[in-house]
Structure 1
Amino acid sequence: MSPANPFTRRKDRIDELAATAASPSGGIAEAGAVDEKPGVSLIASAWSRLKRSPVFLLGAGITLVFVVLALVSPLIAPHDPAAGLLLDQVRPQSNPVPGPQDGFPLGADSRGRDLLSRLLVGSQQTLIVGVFATITGLAGGLSLGILAGAFGGWVDALVMRVVDVMLSIPSLLLAFSIAAVAARPSQVTVIIAVAAVQVPVFARLLRGSMLAQRSSDHVVAARALGVTERAIVFRHMLPNSLAPVIVQSTLVLAVSIIDAAALSFLGLGNPNDRQPEWGQMLGRAQTYIYDYPHLAIYPALCIIVVALGFTLMGESLREALDPKSRR
């Protein structure tokens, strides 16, 4: 019996593979099957990565402890932060700063006030200044960013030139200049000064995000369907541009706390030291920095640790939400 024609063998092999693939239990069909899984949103995907990030967990832990302490500090403070309970122990020549003792684990300041209580209550004032300065700066930056990103043209050019001028001035110098203009330093002037520094940061970031959204498919489709420009801006462009701005706000909060502490350190904060604030405490401790450095070390460490917590959390959020920076 003569061997089969090579073309016949090839045809038979193709028919065999086709029959196997067409069968419900065919090997090729099983090998090529895809195990379909439900889709995951961007937030859920980011959260799954953040839960495994030790950097985020550390930053979130520091931030959570700081916020909780700031909220409950008036309740857990062992003494009234404005009461000079150890004033009778203050000796300007021999003992200007009472040291640690029973009921006063960190000692007192030069006016006999409990240092631990002032640190705890000062966290609340620091949180208030940082949060309100960030919210105010965010509101101003959103207004300018929406104007520049939505209208474009000469409006965009005008807004961005103003933003460029503000960015050309060092942030602390700009905040110092704004706070110095006030007739009387107060907590409100510090909030306004720090917020003014953050406005151009938010405006530039939002403007860039909205310009990227102007040419996206869903915006082009909405404009082709006759949707009004106002609806396009506030229902399509703005919601899809807020993610990087929200992430930036966590980083700005850390900067706001540092800038507010710097202004209070320079004497441009709240002059009433019956309401303690970490930057204010740091400034008043300079008189005794050589003999009693702990008066400056404690508030300085509080500022550093809290700013580090917000920074670590913000950087982790940026990496989780930005595909370009994911590891």
Structure 2
Amino acid sequence: MPDLMKTPPADEPEVALAPPSGKAAEAGEVGGARSLWGDAWRDLRRRPLFVVSGLLILLVLLVSAFPGLFTSTDPGSGDLTKNFLGSPNLTHFFQDDWFGYDRQGRSIYARVVFGARNSVMVGLGVTLLVTFFGGLVGMLAGYFGGFWDSLLSRITDVFFGIPFLLGAMVVLNAFTDRDVWVITGALAFLGWTQIARVMRGAVITTKHADYVMAAKALGAGTKRILFRHVLPNAVAPVIVVATIALGTYIVAESTLSYLGLGFGSDAVSWGADISDATQDIRNNPHTLIFPAGMLSITVLAFIMLGDAVREALDPKLR
């Protein structure tokens, strides 16, 4: 009977598997399986739309976080001797007269730089709140179904039926001191319904997957199933909607400020500057072009980023 436990002869060469390299390693042909997020990130890095929008957003975030790096001028101080003084001097980069002056002799460039902070803070704050609250409501409604689904869905329908801007105007009209937190809370109070609907549909689709059924069969608890199996596989469409909606919330804040229901008169905001510039649009259009242009570029960057993320996370669009 042959000895099955004997070692191989010393002269037999040992075969060693070399690690993958080159295109095979990059494509994932050898090695561990790639995740959805890994595939999405590899796809995003090759998309010019993502690169351009990402750079624009980084610039806007840098301006809003550190406006002192771009100008040392107080955006609220004005010199009436400079009101509408000449045209914008586009050769004086990052100087007071780069974008010209407004009716009160204030530097339009300084106001555009400092106005980014309030608009971006409101947009980011509302997006975080509506993603958390709307995602939680949609996840609970979609996973448990039955009575809870009916109850939470009807509450969502009630808020969804309230016109977004009109409802925000009614809420903000009740406050005399409207700062970042008040405006963020008012917009988030009415803006969570779309995220809730998207999350509910994604959870309903995900909870019937085989891996979720296997986790239930193995005795996993509800909390573990929700946060380890359902949420990571249902959050992709929510991220896409939230990214695009961030630009919408920035526009909403500017609209409210334009109507006089946003920040107070002492605060610097793109919407408030656009409202002031409409009085002189015929004779001095530069007072409107620069704050409106900055607002448009910011919103466009977030919409472009959302489109790129949507195409990367949806296998049907690749």
With the shorter chain as reference, the TM-score category is 0.7 to 0.9
Aligned to 2:307: 315
Aligned to 2:62: 68
- What letter matches 1:53 in structure 2? R
- What letter matches 1:323 in structure 2? P
| In 1, Cα distance between equivalents of 2:70 and 2:58 | 17
| In 1, Cα distance between equivalents of 2:236 and 2:82 | 55
Which runs of no fewer than 5 residues in structure 1 stay unpaired?
Answer: 1-34, 91-96
The answer to whether the Cα contact below 8 Å between 2:246 and 2:302 also exists between their aligned partners in 1 is yes
1:226–1:122 Cα change, 3 Å: same
Alignment of 1:249-268 (within 5 A): 249-268=242-261
Q: Is 1:43 aligned to residue 30 of structure 2?
A: no
| In 2, Cα distance between equivalents of 1:288 and 1:36 | 63
Tell me by how many angstroms 1:183 deviates: 4.2
Aligned to 1:20: none
1:42–1:139 Cα change, 3 Å: closer
- What letter matches 1:198 in structure 2? G
Q: Which segment drifts farther, 307-316 or 61-70?
A: 61-70
Tell me by how many angstroms 1:177 deviates: 2.7
The answer to whether the Cα contact below 8 Å between 1:122 and 1:277 also exists between their aligned partners in 2 is yes
Tell me by how many angstroms 1:163 deviates: 1.4
| In 2, Cα distance between equivalents of 1:236 and 1:36 | 26
The answer to whether the Cα contact below 8 Å between 1:137 and 1:199 also exists between their aligned partners in 2 is yes
1:62–1:75 Cα change, 3 Å: closer
Choose which of 195, 198, 221 in structure 2 pairs with 1:202. Answer: 195
Tell me by how many angstroms 1:36 deviates: 5.0
Tell me by how many angstroms 1:245 deviates: 1.4
Structure (1/2) with the larger helix percentage: 1
The answer to whether the Cα contact below 8 Å between 2:164 and 2:190 also exists between their aligned partners in 1 is yes
| In 2, Cα distance between equivalents of 1:244 and 1:233 | 17
| In 2, Cα distance between equivalents of 1:183 and 1:112 | 28
| Aligned CA-pair RMSD | 2.1
Q: Which segment drifts farther, 124-133 or 142-151?
A: 142-151
| In 2, Cα distance between equivalents of 1:295 and 1:127 | 21
| In 1, Cα distance between equivalents of 2:126 and 2:179 | 13
Tell me by how many angstroms 1:119 deviates: 0.6
The answer to whether the Cα contact below 8 Å between 1:63 and 1:310 also exists between their aligned partners in 2 is yes
Aligned to 2:85: 98
1:133–1:155 Cα change, 3 Å: same
Tell me by how many angstroms 1:189 deviates: 2.6
Tell me by how many angstroms 1:227 deviates: 1.9
Choose which of 179, 192, 196 in structure 2 pairs with 1:186. Answer: 179
| In 1, Cα distance between equivalents of 2:118 and 2:170 | 22
TM-score normalised to structure 2 length: 0.82
Choose which of 39, 56, 67 in structure 1 pairs with 2:50. Answer: 56
Q: Is 1:140 aligned to residue 105 of structure 2?
A: no
Which runs of no fewer than 5 residues in structure 2 stay unpaired?
Answer: 1-27
Aligned to 1:17: none
Structure number with greater Rg is 1
Tell me by how many angstroms 1:268 deviates: 0.8
Q: How many pairs were matched up?
A: 284
Aligned to 2:280: 288
| In 2, Cα distance between equivalents of 1:288 and 1:271 | 21
